[in-house]
Amino acid sequence: MRFFDLTQRCGTAPIARDCALPFPPEGGWATSWRTLAAVVAVAIGLGVLGAGCSKESGGAAKPNMKAPVPVMVATACARPVPMALKTFGNIEANVTVAVKSQVTGTLLTLNFKEGQFIKEGDLLFEIDKQPFEAALHQAEANLARDQAQYENAKKEADRQAELLKKGVAAPSDYDAAQTAAVALAGTLKADQAAIDQAKINVAYCTIRSPVDARAGVWMVDKGNLVSANASTLVVLNQVHPIQMSFAVPEGNLLEIQQQAAKGKLKVLALIPGHEAQPEEGELHFVDNTVDRTTGTIHLKALFPNPRDRLWPGQFVDAVLVLYIQPDAIVIPSQAIQTGQKGTFVFVVKADGTVEDRPITIDRPINSETVVAKGLAKGETVVVDGQLRLVPGSKIVEKSSLDEAAHPEKAKSAPAAGEGKEEQAKPETPEAPKKASSDPAASTGVRLKSKAASAEKGDTTAPPASAGDKGAPKP
């Protein structure tokens, strides 16, 4: 069997001197050349890859020095922070009164306006009292009649007692006189009770407010017949003070009881859209049973509500402050990032570079976050521009979000004091110069070069231009 030497046939550098192919190749020349082409392609690819690696590993390539990244920063501060439980609450009237009539009669007057603030004892309604005054007079008349009969029966009983002592009257007559006197004494008491009831009915015709409250809408208009204990005339809600009802998980019950034993617990009511101005109150009720369906404990807080910012039926965010944590590390919440290893922040080092530092979050408080571990007081963290940062990146601090988002504006803006002279004296464009009529003026340089060439004996002068019409030929 003969072998084909590639180095002798190709006349180039050896590709695989140690490898020889059978000649003629098995399977024909077509199969052999396909195999050879594949080997060559692999070799070329490896060569290109090796060249790229050598450039990267070599010292000839310069490192890519990136410009500082514009960011906004904030300082981690230590301050007292409340330890609180946050949930939602519902505002309720401290006292709700559904005013009803206790007598049946015609409604004569309404002495308040809908929504008016009413003080205790203010007149609300008046019902026609004439029927009840007539009943009062009748009861008083009955009392006077029975009083007279009682006096007569008492005298008769006394006479029968004297006659019985003398043996003139029979004992049965004495007993009858005594019984009549006692019966009439009971009748007097019944008459007095009827008078009292009539007076009460007359008083019921005038309805007054039992509490300081805010009036609702009228349920019955003037002139209608109202029935005793049938329909509600108006609903009064006491809003000074006012209470908030809310619930917390039963797991916090023990801690609430422990802190409540030390003193009153503060409760904040955060009105949606006005969280920066919460209303302050105190916890005054803890239910005696845990709700088994929800696993929560029902609480109530009382608020003075001097500005009427809390209203019955309103939903608010409830914050129960258990205690104050001193020297808590607080940073803006927008500084916190989340990665594969968990939560971290970019901390600015003394050399102006940043590092990604893992932190442990305690709890959020509005737009800030309390950090339990990983940061110290006074350290600087990045709050805007984190997407362009990697550990070791150089930063430059910006004073506003607009500058951080568009650093080219800050660079293009002139510094203070620069450009004042140019602005004070603006440049005026020069008038275009008129073309000179002297041909030497336009060809002076060229003629001078020709003369210099002539003095040196150079006979190869440059050709004259179209403007050199009056210039002598060389």
Measured between its terminal Cα atoms, the distance across the chain in Å is 83
What is the C-alpha to C-alpha distance for residues 273 and 294, in angstroms, rounded to an integer? Answer: 28
pLDDT at 334: 93
Chain-centre distance for alpha carbon 362: 18
Rg for the chain (alpha carbons), in Å?
54
pLDDT at 225: 93
Q: In this model, does residue 38 exceed pLDDT 90?
A: no
Q: In this model, does residue 360 exceed pLDDT 50?
A: yes
Q: In this model, does residue 468 exceed pLDDT 70?
A: no
Summarised one tens digit per residue, pLDDT across range 393-408 is 999 988 644 554 455 5
Q: In this model, does residue 456 exceed pLDDT 70?
A: no
Segment 65-71 mean pLDDT: 83
- Higher local confidence (pLDDT), 173 or 438: 173
φ, ψ of residue 363 to 5 degrees: the values are: -165, 150
Q: What is the per-residue DSSP string for 2-71? A: EEE-HHHHH-SS-S-TT--EEESPTT-HHHHHHHHHHHHHHHHHHHHHHHHHHHHHSSSSPP--PPPEEE
What is the C-alpha to C-alpha distance for residues 474 and 462, in angstroms, rounded to an integer? Answer: 10
- Higher local confidence (pLDDT), 17 or 354: 354
pTM: predicted TM-score of the whole model, two decimal places? 0.57
Q: In this model, does residue 288 exceed pLDDT 60?
A: yes
Closest residue by Cα to residue 385 from 367, 407, 369: 407
Lowest-confidence range among 231-245, 351-365, 448-462? 448-462
Going from the N-terminus, what domains does the chain have, and what CATH number goes with each?
2-57 (no CATH), 97-232 (2.40.50.100), 236-327 (2.40.30.170), 328-412 (2.40.420.20)
